Structure formats: structure tokens, C-alpha cells
Amino acid sequence: MPINYLKKIQLGEFNEDGYRISPSKEIESVIEGFYVFSRDPKNNTHLIFNDGFPVLVFLQICEDTVAVTGGNDAFEIKAVWASAGSIKNVYVKYNDNTEQVFIVRFHPGAFYQLFGLNAQYFRYNPVTPFEYIAKNNNFSIEEFFECNSIDEKVAFVGAYVQSSFTEINTPETLHKTLDYIHKIKGKSTVRNVTNDAGVNYKWLERSFVKNIGLLPKEYIQLQRFIHAYLELVGSEDVDLMRIAISNGYYDSNHFLKDFKAYTGKTPLEYLKFQLQPDLYQIS
């Protein structure tokens, strides 16, 4: 999802312009939360990042569009997109009409089971028009956009989930491993994670690939990066070595390498981009 919204979710920074709606007990094993965010009118372009929780991002009306740019690839998405996996150097630019987005955030693994997808679905296309998935799963995007209020949209998605799944089958050991990785904010090695879970690496790797679509190392990297990112953008005095070490990186070069991979920029370039996005060419 746009990382500016993910930042608010991670930090719990909610108000009337951005808030969370808890899912009902019937669907809480599938959906982590519903979120509503007002778009920043001063900034049309945002980095997209995934912290391991797949999302659907609905624009305000069915005709709204965003331009998605990643590397040498650029394309347009209408109405709603899905994103998951390891997203690197991908940016989204809103058109001038969208003032608010509605986000459905799924638990790791649950999204793929709900929509009957192989967990590798997003590996090479981490940001995808949801229409490609919806048309094969009886999810009517047109009917969703006939909902006039946020409560109606929540109810629509909730009813779809209840009617479309019987049980989410994710190994309990994997659940505990994910919780552990989240708790330590990715400040660990795969070896330590396997020791904590009491399983061997091959089992852990197969379980992650089958259910999450990522290798354990990749998932750990996502958690470590998002917390380092939050510290970076929240710092008045940017000390890359301090940020790197406090978030489990070996040194500042290790952090810089990850930062450039995920954003396409150095930390200082990215901070300048946030202040004046129109002056920077997305590449």
C-alpha cells in the first residue's frame, strides 16, 4: 500500500482523516482491518510498500485511476488494486479526483486462500489491478462502488468473505513464527527464527513459500526495513549509522543497500523527494 498510509497504521496515528475499522469476529481470521485515509492534496505521488499483509486499495469512485511506475514499467490501474509480496521501487500517482481511499488489509496467507491464488502470484507483479482477481472469484467491483457509505463498503466486503471461505488453513507454527518476527521487528536472522520456532529451515522455507509467497529471509527484511524507514522519516537529525544499527542492520551500508532497493533512492534523496515530489523523476 502507499507507505504514507502504512506509516500511520504501524504507528497507530489515526484521526478523522485516517482511521481503522475492526473486522467482525466472523472474518477477523482473514481481515486484519479496514482503513479509510484522506489523500494529501499537496502530494500526488507515493512509494508503495508491503509489510507482509496483502491489501486491496479502493479509490473513491469506479472511474478513478492511478499511474503505477516501477523501474522501466508504467501502467494505469482503474478503481482498485491489490498488492503483496516484496515491492521494490514502485510508486503510485493519483489523479486529481481521488480524495479518499478505502483499504482492506489481510492477514498474511489469508488473501491467497480466500481468492484461490498461488502464494507466488505477486512475486513478479506485486501491484496488480484487482479486476484480474475479482472476475474469477465472483467479486463485483461495480456492486462494491454502488455502496454509498464506508459502513456499506465494510459490510459488502465482510459479506463476501463470509460467503467465500470456510476456514483459513495456515499452520499454527507459522502463525507463531510470524508473530515472533513482528514482535522483534525483523531484528533477527533466519537461524534465530528457526530456533525460536523449533523447526528446521527446510520446513520453514516450504511453509513460507506455500502460504506467504516469500522466503523467510525476505519476510524478515520487510519487517526490518519498515521500522528503519519509520525511524528515518520521523528523525529531525538523520544519523544513518544509528538508524541502521538500532534496526538490526550490520552497518549503514547494509541499510543503504536495502533502502535503495525498496525506494530507488538514497535516504537523503528520498527525504527531499517527500518534500518536493514534483521535482523528482520517478524511475
Tell me the average pLDDT across 147-158: 97
Asked if residues 164 and 113 have their Cβ atoms less than 8 Å apart, the reply is no
Asked if residues 185 and 193 have their Cβ atoms less than 8 Å apart, the reply is no
Neighbours of 28 (CB within 10 A): 12
pLDDT in tens, 1-38: 999 999 999 999 999 999 999 999 999 999 999 999 99
Q: How far apart are CA 172 and CA 268, in angstroms?
A: 41
What pLDDT is recorded for position 72?
Answer: 74
The domains located in the chain, with CATH, are: 3-164 (2.60.120), 172-279 (1.10.10.60)
Share of residues in the chain with pLDDT > 90 (%): 77
Question: In this model, does residue 64 exceed pLDDT 90?
Answer: yes
What pLDDT is recorded for position 199?
Answer: 86
Q: Any idea what the Cα angle at residue 265 is, between residues 19 and 219, rounded to 5°?
A: 60
| pLDDT band, very low/low/confident/very high, at 96 (cuts 50, 70, 90) | confident
Neighbours of 209 (CB within 10 A): 16
What pLDDT is recorded for position 283?
Answer: 47
| CB environment 189-201: b (16+ within 10 A), e (fewer) | ebeebbeebebee
Order of strands across the sheet that contains 55-58: 18-21, 31-38, 100-106, 55-58, 80-83, 127-129
Asked if residues 173 and 197 have their Cβ atoms less than 8 Å apart, the reply is yes
Q: How far apart are CA 119 and CA 231, in angstroms?
A: 30
The three cell numbers of residue 15 are 484521526
